[in-house]
Amino acid sequence: MTSASCKKYPKILLSIIASLGCLAIFLILSSSSLISSQTFGSAIRGYIYVVGRSQEADLIGTASDGTVVNFSHHSNILGSKGAGDDFQESDGGFGCDLYKGKWVYDSGGEPLYKHDSCPVLTQTQNCQGNGRPDKEYENWRWKPTQCGLPRFDARKFLDLMKGKTIAFIGDSVARNQMESLLCILWQVEVPNNRGNKRMQRFVFASTSTTIIRIWSAWLVNKTSDQFDFAPAGVPELHIDAPDETIINLITNFDIIVLSSGHWFAKQSVYILQNEIVGGQLWWPDKSKKMKIDNIKAFGISVETILTAMVTHPNYTGLTVVRTFSPDHYEGGKWNTGGSCTGKVRPLKDGQLFDNEFTKIMHQKQVRGFSRSIDKNTNKSKMKLMDITEAFAYRHDGHPGPYRSTDPNKITKRGPDGRPPPQDCLHWCMPGPVDTWNEILFEIIKREL
Ligand SMILES: *[C@@H]1O[C@H](CO)[C@@H](O)[C@H](O)[C@H]1NC(C)=O
Ligand SMILES: *[C@@H]1O[C@H](CO)[C@@H](O)[C@H](O)[C@H]1NC(C)=O
Ligand SMILES: *[C@@H]1O[C@H](CO)[C@@H](O)[C@H](O)[C@H]1NC(C)=O
Ligand SMILES: CC(=O)N[C@H]1CO[C@H](CO)[C@@H](O)[C@@H]1O
């Protein structure tokens, strides 16, 4: 983002700009935006991401179509009880790792819905509607090595989900996936909007299937009063206490998809056992080292929310943790020439950007997941939906500069080579994010 584009969002960014000269990230819809459907489409818009310089990819693969991926090193990353085990028992004992595979171009493929056939699609992710000139990114399909990933059958999904409720809980990437699912289902049935102030809620009458979204950026208890030496106004995250709003609702849900991570790049104070242990874009006493940085805080938060869920006496649902969604501010940071402008096909093998931040966030998340599995005392199930590496290849799947219908928006680099303001974090709809719901459907088929 340029400083000019920051000026467009003075309210949102003001405090951060003040201290950081616009070095801030603001990713997501504010929580209020889930209240009314009018605000679908109002959105945001600055993102900061630190993307490492291109390095040798640490994935191995063949190059016939340039997109073969070797994920075999995953077992190391995932540790003992990670997603590596998730699908071993399925497929009649053959096992199929849904996260190991490649992106294949499907020239005759049609997306699951059209950008103009889904009234709930947020405008900032409506890439075609915002004038994105290329369209091929809609036609790459994820092909797991050992099995096929069936095209999403909306009718079958509703039948399988008869009487059931699925809740997407988390940040704006949760919204991205929830809207993708709604758009897919919309093609066979228009749901009733039964939302309220706490949550978005759509009910498909034919099967009484309910799709819910609840905003919770960090998934843990957030306060904002003055606390010890933390000033009022800076979000205080009690990273060892879950967001009570979530915990109070979970027994109503059969399936919960959790999405978090990117807000740990935002300003906040980290509190553990009632003691301030660190902060992000906030730490007044430079002479003292903080105990917990944003990456550690993320890992702890994941363990906190999951532990609260799997030790809840009455929760029997399936919890799906969708792993950290990779962003693609390639070649720099968001404000130093990092860009996904002009990316029209997935990265080829060997071109993968080694994004240290993504990698370590993923590791912490997987560790938090594994540790909470060990604490499970109820009948609920947990699955890791480990999409991080597969989606690291999809630098073509983001809106880039096509974030609004504004006919005067800048979509090309300036004379100084600076890229235009852009979103290389959220995913176009239709687009690769629809694959998440195809994978989710497979998980549900296997677990319900
Ligand atoms: C994938 O990587 C593993 C180890 O990293 C290696 O043993 C294996 O041969 C590789 N497979 C392919 C198809 O390259
Ligand atoms: C956070 O914790 C306080 C104190 O225990 C509690 O009153 C509040 O409801 C909690 N809020 C959330 C969102 O969990
Ligand atoms: C769990 O269910 C029982 C029986 O319906 C109820 O008495 C109890 O309050 C519930 N516990 C929680 C934490 O919801
Ligand atoms: C059905 C079941 O296994 N419920 C258990 C869930 O976890 C609590 C402890 O938090 C147990 O007391 C329940 O028996």
Does the structure show a pLDDT above 80 at 213? Answer: yes
Cα–Cα distance between 204 and 155 in angstroms, integer?
11
Q: What are phi and psi of 369, to 5 degrees?
A: -60, -50
What's the rounded mean pLDDT across residues 53-78? Answer: 29
Q: Is the CB of 73 under 6 A from ligand 1?
A: yes
CA dihedral 61, 63, 69, 75 (to 10 degrees): 0
Q: What is the pLDDT of residue 414?
A: 86
If you measure from the C-alpha of residue 252 to the centroid of ligand 2, how many angstroms do you get, rounded to a whole number? 20
What's the rounded mean pLDDT across residues 56-66? Answer: 28
Cα distances (angstroms) measured from residue 114 to each of 127, 153, 274: 11, 16, 49
Does the structure show a pLDDT above 70 at 45? Answer: no
Percentage of residues of the chain with pLDDT beyond 70: 77
What's the rounded mean pLDDT across residues 176-199? Answer: 96
Q: Is cis: bond before 346, omega within 30 of 0?
A: no
- Name the closest-CA residue to atom 5, ligand 1: 73
How confident is the model over 90-131, as pLDDT tens digits?
343 336 899 999 999 998 889 999 999 999 999 999 999 999
If you measure from the C-alpha of residue 378 to the centroid of ligand 4, how many angstroms do you get, rounded to a whole number? 4
Q: What are phi and psi of 74, to 5 degrees?
A: -55, -35
Mean pLDDT of the chain: 81
Q: Which atom of ligand 2 is nearest the CA belonging to 244? A: 14
Q: What is the pLDDT of residue 18?
A: 38
If you measure from the C-alpha of residue 247 to the centroid of ligand 4, how many angstroms do you get, rounded to a whole number? 15
pTM for this predicted structure: 0.79
Largest separation between any pair of C-alpha atoms in the chain: 62
In the chain, domain spans: 51-328+340-447
DSSP code of residue 225: S
Stretch among 64-68, 108-112, 127-131, 248-252 having the lowest mean pLDDT: 64-68
Q: Is the CB of 70 under 6 A from ligand 1?
A: yes
How confident is the model over 302-342, as pLDDT tens digits?
999 999 999 999 999 999 999 999 999 887 766 667 789 89
Catalytic residues, by residue number, are 172, 423, 426
Q: What ligand is nearest to the CA atom of residue 58?
A: 1
Task: Dump strand ranges (E) for 219-360.
Answer: 220-223, 236-242, 255-259, 268-272, 275-280, 318-322
End-to-end CA distance of the chain: 44
Q: What ligand is nearest to the CA atom of residue 198?
A: 2
If you measure from the C-alpha of residue 301 to the centroid of ligand 2, how many angstroms do you get, rounded to a whole number? 15
Domain covering 51-328+340-447: architecture: 3-Layer(aba) Sandwich (3.40)
Stretch among 34-43, 154-163, 217-226, 391-400 having the lowest mean pLDDT: 34-43
Q: Is the CB of 313 under 6 A from ligand 4?
A: yes
Q: Which atom of ligand 1 is nearest the CA belonging to 70? A: 1
Q: What is the pLDDT of residue 333?
A: 65
Cα–Cα distance between 21 and 400 in angstroms, integer?
23
Cα–Cα distance between 164 and 27 in angstroms, integer?
31
Q: Is the CB of 314 under 6 A from ligand 3?
A: yes
